[in-house]
Amino acid sequence: MIRSIDELGRFVIPKEIRKNMNLVTGDLLQLELINNSDDLLLVISKEESIAQCLGCGAYCRSNDNFCSNCGLYLKEDPTLK
């Protein structure tokens, strides 16, 4: 599947993939690049458990319990589930 990137760096996730992953507007996604010899893979996963840091305000995975940005304790944000 080939997609183009617009001037702001955005691309559209095809409808069939969004449906398969149960993605809706406002969902948070984790993007990870994997270098696999000659290929560069973009892995997209839906974040189910997000928490906001009490110190810096960054959003991180709540199962980590601590902010990956500043190291402080995370407060789970129920509005993001």
- Structure pTM? 0.51
Class of domain 1-46: mainly beta
Residue 81: pLDDT above 60?
no
Closest CA to 54 of 37, 77, 29: 77
The pLDDT confidence band at residue 32, using thresholds 50, 70 and 90, is confident
Which tokens is 26 given? 């406002």
Q: 75 vs 47, 48, 55, 64, 69, CA distance in Å?
A: 16, 15, 10, 11, 14
Write out the H or E segment, with its range, that includes residue 39.
Answer: strand 39-46
| Structural domain spans, the chain | 1-46, 50-80
Residues 13, 43 contacting (CB under 8 angstroms): no
Question: What percent of the chain shows pLDDT beyond 70?
Answer: 84
